[in-house]
Structure 1
Amino acid sequence: MLLLLAPAAGAQQSLQWNAPAGATVRPTDAALVGLARQLLDGSDAVHLTPVQRSQSLLVAGQYAQASAAITALMHALRSEGNESQAQRWTPYLLMAKAGNPAEPGFDRAYAAAFAAWFAALDDVSALKTHYWFSTNLPAAQAKLDAALATYAGSASLTHEQALDLIRQAAFVATFRVTSRLAPDLIRADEDRRFEIDDSVRIPAMEGVVLSAHVARPRRSAAPPPAAMLFTIYTDPARNRTQAALAAAHGYVGVVVDARGKRLGTGTAAPYETEGVDAAAAVDWISQQPWTDGRVVMYGGSYSGFAAWAAAKHAPPALKAIAPYVAAIPGLGLPMENNVFLSANYAWPFYVANNRLLDNDTYNQRERWDALTERWYTSGRPYRQIDQVDGTPNRWLQRWLAHPDYDAYWQAMVPYGDDFSRIRIPVLSITGYYDDGQISALHYFREHYRHLPDADHRLLIGPYDHFGTQANVKAMELRGYSVDPIAQFDTDAITFQWFDHVLNGAPLPPLLADRVNYQLMGANRWEHAPSLQAAGGGMTTFHLSRERAGTEYRLIETPTAPAGVLTQAVNFADRNSSRHSYYPWPILRAGPPDDGGLSFVSAPFDQPMDMVGPFGGDLKIRINKRDVDLTVTLYEWQKDGKVMQLSYYVGRASYAADMTSRHLLTPGQWTQVPLQRTRMTGRRIAKGSRLLVVVDVLKDAEHQVNHGTGKDVSDESVADAGAPLSIDWSTDSILRIPLRAVAE
């Protein structure tokens, strides 16, 4: 909210600034009022945007005019389809309606304005508007204080400086009021709409008791179904609101805390007990008089995993699940394709250190950001990374004991034939740039592999892990401008789909088929009965030794005889890293130049749609017993810009079977199948080329596989030995889901 809308460029008039150095709050506030009035009365007033005018009127104390201006701004935003943008202005509007906070009677006026405004809103709109009344006021105040200190003693400010100060001042003034008055008003509004019990206790397995928030709609004529979200993220205020949001959609909202959290008993055990505990919660909920006996589960990331974990145990009352960006422990995190990664290193401390959330530890970003580099440069075994940090990470150590995708991991979510017994409808939502997409896609593929007539829909588009779960999607993602049509509300589509499954409501058009994907670059949604149908067939490409500028050619007809490209990687050198596959930024100015072997296709002579995950077989020969590999796909556009489309990272010894390690034989050719890759959906423009980068994984964010054949967690820089020599055969192939688009 601090950002709101960026100030528009205007004339560069100077404005008087009358707050002397060391000024107290009162003269500073007076100076801000004077500054706002100069903006409103000066020659450049005509150039103020509606946002800037609204902020200036508030700071100037012209509350009636501010109310009218904000009302007009909200109307304009709604007419453009920006409902969420309009809702976020409600705190400003109510303050303007109430008048001067320093005047007697302001609190009563504010409460009256609040009550009148929310009386006109339905339950869903009210809850989504409640969200905009909370912020980190101390941080906002500190930022404003720092800006004021910067200008202390100045006689004048530029137009841009003035607008920035007024923006911050309007924000702080508004949320000084909301932080004082809104919490009680919001709680009263919730109580008017819902019956909420924050202290429900649910008996689970082994004598464990789970705590829960339960929200029931007051205006329900008959007991409705229950919508359950199971979470280890124990934030009582947020989870209470989440339960209420389900109630706003006509369900009994139940947010269940994981074992050992909040008011529950037992000990937190991330990933290990969610299946039995969530299934027990479903059974208990179904027997309560306030529900009709049907339960659905939903939620993102960990909560999506928990929905699948419950489905593994098939509680009879569970009628549907809607998991988004759902994790698979042991496949997507804390390891991916058997390579342990450090992105979630601090997560166990966050969720398992206490009965709520250990924000103090988790928010030590400098500590966690520095840790991986400290470990990497130390050369110590990955198993000792917590010794480098200085605090034991017992959950990491527990996970490192299972480098295979073995029975430990398999017990957590459906595995193999378990999928054939999941006959309830499923809605999976994920993003092309979701870190955990590999897990979400694996659930989808395995469900159909073991149950061809499964009722499972996939919804996917240009979102990252958090954006997929958000009700308002970011329209600028890591340098890529998202197509406008990609915008949708995750909560809304979830409950619309539940209404369809349980009550026969119309199927949301966005979910028209099994595979529903936003085609980037075409500003359209497409629908297909399967991933294969969405892709329209695979085009086979081969590596080659032929040059295309500084890259090698990626060709459709293999060369004969096969050629060899050789790389050398020195694992003893901890002052360098290899090609970074991670999509940040998504759109960059030019091709990467960080050590990988790059292969580029001929320009496409017509637009091409790339939809689905890629595959292939890499033929390699190394002088060691194992290696971790990366493959990254890009669109190299005519203007020179490069857009990342998909990637793969994995350990060669597990590529064929993630449950059992099969070491390579030094000096012998090995086929490495590319499985469990990521999906994209992109219209590649005419004249663009496909760019593929293959490389050896070596960086601070992952284990370093030195190739000895020992457990990689126990290898140190002392095991580096001679540099890795890797030969890439041009017999290697990549299968890319491409189909031509008629112009």
Structure 2
Amino acid sequence: MKKLFLLLAIISRCVTLYAQNLPQPDKEKYIINDSVFIKTPQGHTLSAVVIRRRDMTGPQPAALFVFIYSDTKRSLAEAKYSADHGYVGVVADVRGKRLSLDGVAPYENDATDVYEVIDWISKQPWSNHKIGMYGGSYSGFAQWAGLKYKVHPALKTIVPYVSAIPGMGLPMENNVFLNANYGWAFYVTNNKYLDTATYNNQERWQNLQTNWYQSGAAYNRIDSVDHAPNPWLQRWLKHPGFDSYWQSTIPYGHEYAKINIPVLAFDGYYDDGQTSGLYYIRQLAKYNPKANYYVILGPYDHFGAQRGGVANLRDYVVDSVALIDTKRITFEWFDYIMKNGKKPDILKGRISYEVMGANRWGHAPSLDKMHNSMLRLYLSNVKKDDQFKLSAQKPAQLTSLEQEVDFADRTTMNTFAYPYPIIQKDISSNGFTFVSDSLKQALIVNGAFIGRLTASINKKDFDYSVVLYEMMPNGEYFELTYFVGRASYSWDISHRKLLQPGKITTLPFSNTKIVSRQLQKGSRLVVVINVNKNRFCQINYGTGKDVSTESIADAQIPLNVKWYNNSFIEVPVSR
């Protein structure tokens, strides 16, 4: 124990020396402490940066930012921003990061630790017992995690941006493990700060995906292909369903009923994890009908939503009105909640969303009321050239389109659904493409599309994608949104139900992303369905075993899928 306190003292002294070397204007303007230790009742220690303005006397409200991406320079900048906007700036590192001597365990400890950080702030002499939290991605997750067991009375609001949900948006999406974040665990756990050298080695991660795919190795052997153990991936692979392990990290079920503080959330149509961020809001509305929440949505990706967008997103020129200042709105909201200030002008309804192509903001009382009708379109077998008709009429006779996928063939890949670039000249696919009649008038797609696919396969499971496009009058394709999922989790993401080979099965899908876009007169809606087989995610060989243990040895028999013409999608529209 003496050694522990001695080490803490040495670390504190080193950081204090760093603080003493701050520019003179900062010393005169702020009271800066970047070596704060927060000891929890459970016996753990977290570190934090606290900055106050010298010209502000008496207890003040606090703005709390909790993150795993420990970086003292960034912590100082975040805390200074809060101080400059009339708040005590507190930036806390999660357990195990920066000055903490505990081990780091992504997602697993935040539900208890965040509450304790809030409690610590509330007991400081400079605190007036009003605290607001903000931040994106992991920091968004941390805010919701801190509400799991109970809401601290000093916490007055949260402002999460593009909030992650472990087990839902990453490392898997709709129960399919993705490779996009493979290097992330190394990035945040290899040391007390960030292993940027490893994480930024994009050649390594690109080669890994290609080498793993071509090797045919099981997914739980992908780190052997990389020649570097990935213990966190192996831990997560043991939980292919959204089970109690994942559920323990965030509010779940009726735990949302007790969340009675105002919430302002930001997300983007092209945020990879949007289904996570909006899951919190949907659950809050479901279990607490009187919840006070607002959501701002626009044409942003995961990083763009955290700052208010970029003018050119994946080669799409964004409407000018969509460009906002996320942090400015955040602190206007803090003033509104904690200082009796004015509500941010953009919040004219619970849901504020930018209509792509119309260059305007729309407003709705809930996510489900962004649209006024659902347009049902069937995936017919009526062929036109190399495509099929996306029909508003239910088919009179049940027929099917047949697709064969040879998982042993690694010379080709099935088309991936990811929207990059957003506008494409060609969407040639080895799946099936369905095209609607041209629109006789402009139509706004507003909300999340859903669907019900009817299929039969010769195996016990498969992974598939559904992509929705606008084919514009000039013949180019604007990707609106997409779904990737595992058939055996169609009914319950927590429990797997295998398909019966040869039996016609209905596969509903609904955990999709929201989008808003005004489609032009003369445009057509296009749907592409396909079986997943590519280097970007797990390969489901269909044996019924744990997918992470399947390999190319399970690929002797190709997958045969019959897609039936009573399959349909429902597109949310405002006419």
- State the TM-score bracket (shorter-chain normalisation): over 0.9
Q: Which moved more, 1:315-324 or 1:627-636?
A: 315-324
2:330 alignment partner AA: T
Q: How does 1:130-169 map to 2 (within 5 A)?
A: none
Counterpart in 1 of 2:491? 656
Q: Indicate yes or no: 2:267 matched with 1:430.
A: yes
Q: How does 1:533-612 map to 2 (within 5 A)?
A: 533-590=369-426, 592-612=427-447
Q: What's the CA shift for 1:507?
A: 1.0
Q: Indicate yes or no: 2:206 matched with 1:385.
A: no
Structure 2 residue matching 1:321: 3-state secondary structure: strand
Q: Indicate yes or no: 2:121 matched with 1:285.
A: yes
C-alpha contact (below 8 Å) 1:538/1:736 kept by paired residues: yes
Counterpart in 2 of 1:340? 177
2:196 alignment partner AA: N
Q: How does 1:345-494 map to 2 (within 5 A)?
A: 345-470=182-307, 473-494=309-330
1-structure distance, mates of 2:543, 2:419: 30
1-structure distance, mates of 2:40, 2:170: 26
1:404 alignment partner AA: G
C-alpha contact (below 8 Å) 1:311/1:318 kept by paired residues: no
2-structure distance, mates of 1:365, 1:389: 13
**Which deviations, in whole Å up to 9, do the C-alpha atoms of 1:408-432 show, x marking residues without a partner?**
0000011111111111111110110
Q: Indicate yes or no: 2:479 matched with 1:644.
A: yes
Q: What's the CA shift for 1:256?
A: 0.3
Q: What's the CA shift for 1:559?
A: 1.5
**Which deviations, in whole Å up to 9, do the C-alpha atoms of 1:322-349 show, x marking residues without a partner?**
1101000000000111111111111111
Counterpart in 1 of 2:534? 699
Counterpart in 1 of 2:361? 525
**Which deviations, in whole Å up to 9, do the C-alpha atoms of 1:516-537 show, x marking residues without a partner?**
1000000001110012221112
Q: CA RMSD in A?
A: 1.4
2:496 alignment partner AA: R
Q: Sequence identity of aligned pairs in percent?
A: 47
Counterpart in 1 of 2:500? 665
Picking from 706, 723, 728, the partner of 2:558 is 723
1:623 alignment partner AA: N
2-structure distance, mates of 1:528, 1:192: 47
Picking from 42, 47, 53, the partner of 1:217 is 53
C-alpha contact (below 8 Å) 1:342/1:702 kept by paired residues: yes
Q: Which moved more, 1:396-405 or 1:188-197?
A: 188-197
2-structure distance, mates of 1:572, 1:277: 47
Counterpart in 2 of 1:260? 96
2-structure distance, mates of 1:217, 1:609: 48
Q: How does 1:185-334 map to 2 (within 5 A)?
A: 187-313=23-149, 314-334=151-171
Structure 2 residue matching 1:311: 3-state secondary structure: coil
Unmatched tracts of structure 1, length 5 or more: 1-182
**Which deviations, in whole Å up to 9, do the C-alpha atoms of 1:52-85 show, x marking residues without a partner?**
xxxxxxxxxxxxxxxxxxxxxxxxxxxxxxxxxx
C-alpha contact (below 8 Å) 1:600/1:689 kept by paired residues: yes
Q: What's the CA shift for 1:184?
A: 11
Picking from 665, 674, 677, the partner of 2:512 is 677
Q: What's the CA shift for 1:205?
A: 4.5
1-structure distance, mates of 2:353, 2:562: 37
Structure 2 residue matching 1:312: 3-state secondary structure: coil
1-structure distance, mates of 2:439, 2:327: 39
Structure 1 residue matching 2:541: 3-state secondary structure: coil
2-structure distance, mates of 1:191, 1:475: 37
Alignment TM-score, normalising by the size of structure 1: 0.74
Q: What's the CA shift for 1:218?
A: 2.1
Structure 1 residue matching 2:507: 3-state secondary structure: strand
C-alpha contact (below 8 Å) 1:196/1:244 kept by paired residues: no
Q: What's the CA shift for 1:312?
A: 1.3
2:214 alignment partner AA: T
Structure 2 residue matching 1:493: 3-state secondary structure: helix
2-structure distance, mates of 1:217, 1:686: 55
1:684 alignment partner AA: L
2:198 alignment partner AA: T
2:550 alignment partner AA: E
Q: What's the CA shift for 1:185?
A: 11
Structure 2 residue matching 1:541: 3-state secondary structure: strand
Structure 2 residue matching 1:397: 3-state secondary structure: helix
Unmatched tracts of structure 2, length 5 or more: 1-18
Q: Which moved more, 1:706-715 or 1:436-445?
A: 436-445
C-alpha contact (below 8 Å) 1:630/1:697 kept by paired residues: yes
> Residues 529, 362 of structure 1: CA spacing in aligned structure 2 closer, same or farther, 3 A cutoff?
same
Q: What's the CA shift for 1:316?
A: 2.3
Structure 2 residue matching 1:734: 3-state secondary structure: strand
2-structure distance, mates of 1:194, 1:487: 32
Alignment TM-score, normalising by the size of structure 2: 0.95
Structure 2 residue matching 1:292: 3-state secondary structure: strand
2-structure distance, mates of 1:286, 1:406: 34
2-structure distance, mates of 1:278, 1:208: 12
Q: What's the CA shift for 1:222?
A: 3.2
2-structure distance, mates of 1:602, 1:505: 50
C-alpha contact (below 8 Å) 1:197/1:214 kept by paired residues: yes
**Which deviations, in whole Å up to 9, do the C-alpha atoms of 1:334-383 show, x marking residues without a partner?**
01111111111111111111111111211221111110111111001000
1:499 alignment partner AA: D
Please tell me whether Structure 1 or Structure 2 has the larger radius of gyration of its CA atoms.
1
Q: What's the CA shift for 1:574?
A: 1.4
Q: What's the CA shift for 1:211?
A: 0.4
